[in-house]
Structure 1
Amino acid sequence: MKKAKLLYFYDPLCGWCYGFSPVIKNLEEEYKETIQFEAISGGMVLGDRVKPLSEMKDYLKEAMPRLEEMTGVKFGEPYLKVLEEGSLILDSELPCIAMTVFKSMTNKSNIQFASTLQSTLYDKGISLNEVENYQSMAEKFDLPWEVFKAKLEDSTYKEKTYQEFQLGQQSGINGFPSVVLMVENQAYLIARGFRPENELKNVIEEILKKEEHTS
């Protein structure tokens, strides 16, 4: 069988990615024996996009009910309080660097780590801008905190993270979540935005079957 890889382009601050998290985790669980999964950080909120939550509050409060209805996820009460208060700064940089550090330290599922980053903010209402807030996440995956912290503050991993942002841009990814299934050198964009699990399974099965016949 041809080698297959699924690239999950996401951002830790992307609400729709939070909603998509159960879908992508279930897909990895189902296909982990045949497809390699990788989360690719998007860098959605950088530079002049960095701003306090208060500036996005009205938009988010309008969008959240539809997101919850479509995806089945719920935003946690602690996050809703943080949203109401509004002073939290939205910045993708540090949580995206954390993903780069995670990948450098373990072969454990980075899809699971992406989900942990998102639930830390959107369920528990914990800021992703503070280095110390990553200790419990690192320990959840049995990673030594002192090593994780040192890498998190090392400019090398910041550089690698920005290179990862370019990967998405070069692939023509302009929204999150996006999912690309690679079979050998053939790339299939199978999701741009939220897509239900059953639809994605059908598409994956179709592609794998087609590629099998052409091998």
Structure 2
Amino acid sequence: MRKIKLLYFYDPLCGWCFGFSPIIKALEQKYAPEISFEAISGGMILGERIKPLREMHAYLRDAMPRLEKMTGVKFGEDYMKVFEKGDIELNSETPCMAMTVYKSISSGSSIEFASALQNELYVYGKDLNIPENYKGLVEKFNLDWDVFSKKMKSDTYKKKTYEEFEFAQRMGINGFPSVVLQIEDQGYLIARGYRAESEMKKVIDEIIKKEKAD
């Protein structure tokens, strides 16, 4: 069978991606090593979209309860304190760079790192714009903090991160989470937005069955 890869387009600041994390992690556990998985940063909040968290209060006060009910995830108490204060700047650049750096120094799961990265904000209330706030996360993944922090300051990895944003755009991704199952040069968009695990498995199994039949 031809090589199959699942591309998970997400953003560290995307609440629905936070809710989708248990599903994408479960899919990786089920289908590895038959399918290779990679988290791709989308750059959801950049440029003119950058704003303080408080400016999203009206939308998020309505969206977060619905998200929790639909997905089963819970926003942490520490995040809720940060949310109420509203001072954190919403800017995807630094946390997306963290993913780029992680993939450059680790052969481990980028899906697991994406989930842990989001937990830093949505569970523990960390400001992801501050590079020093990644130290605990980096140590949790048994990575060298000195190497990680040096690369976080590098223009090279900033450029690589923006190249990843451009890749997502070329793939036609305009919302998160989005999932593409790629077989050689053929891509199947199997999720645009949150989608239940059972539905995801059904679609993946159908595509794999068709691939084996061909």
Aligned pair 1:5/2:5, yes or no?
Answer: yes
Task: Please report how far the alpha carbon of residue 185 of structure 1 lies from its aligned counterpart in structure 2 after TM superposition.
Answer: 1.7
Q: Distance in 2 between matches of 1:41 and 1:54?
A: 24
Q: Distance in 1 between matches of 2:185 and 2:50?
A: 36
Q: Distance in 2 between matches of 1:128 and 1:110?
A: 17
Counterpart of 2:177 in structure 1 is 177
Q: Distance in 2 between matches of 1:25 and 1:127?
A: 24
Q: Distance in 1 between matches of 2:128 and 2:109?
A: 20
SS class of match (1:179): strand
Task: Please report how far the alpha carbon of residue 182 of structure 1 lies from its aligned counterpart in structure 2 after TM superposition.
Answer: 0.6
Counterpart of 1:118 in structure 2 is 118
Aligned pair 1:202/2:193, yes or no?
Answer: no
SS class of match (2:19): helix
Task: Please report how far the alpha carbon of residue 2 of structure 1 lies from its aligned counterpart in structure 2 after TM superposition.
Answer: 1.7
Q: Distance in 1 between matches of 2:188 and 2:194?
A: 16
How far does the alpha carbon of each residue in 1:146-185 deviate from its partner, in whole angstroms, 9 at most, with x for none?
0000000001000000000000100000000000001122
- Percent identical across equivalent pairs? 63
SS class of match (2:74): coil
SS class of match (1:201): helix
Q: Distance in 2 between matches of 1:37 and 1:112?
A: 10
Superposition misfits of 4+ residues, deviation over 2 angstroms: none
Return the TM-score normalized by structure 2. 0.99
Task: Please report how far the alpha carbon of residue 136 of structure 1 lies from its aligned counterpart in structure 2 after TM superposition.
Answer: 0.8
SS class of match (1:26): helix
Task: Please report how far the alpha carbon of residue 13 of structure 1 lies from its aligned counterpart in structure 2 after TM superposition.
Answer: 0.0
Counterpart of 1:150 in structure 2 is 150
Return the TM-score normalized by structure 1. 0.98
Counterpart of 1:162 in structure 2 is 162
Q: Distance in 2 between matches of 1:180 and 1:50?
A: 27
How far does the alpha carbon of each residue in 1:40-78 deviate from its partner, in whole angstroms, 9 at most, with x for none?
000001111111001001110110111111111010111
Q: Distance in 2 between matches of 1:207 and 1:184?
A: 13
Residue correspondences, number: 214
Aligned pair 1:103/2:99, yes or no?
Answer: no
Q: Distance in 2 between matches of 1:187 and 1:90?
A: 31
Q: Distance in 1 between matches of 2:27 and 2:18?
A: 15
Q: Distance in 1 between matches of 2:184 and 2:213?
A: 14
Task: Please report how far the alpha carbon of residue 186 of structure 1 lies from its aligned counterpart in structure 2 after TM superposition.
Answer: 1.3
Counterpart of 1:40 in structure 2 is 40
Unmatched tracts of structure 2, length 5 or more = none
Counterpart of 2:75 in structure 1 is 75
**Letter in structure 1 aligned against 2:2:** K
**Letter in structure 1 aligned against 2:151:** K
Q: Distance in 2 between matches of 1:183 and 1:80?
A: 41
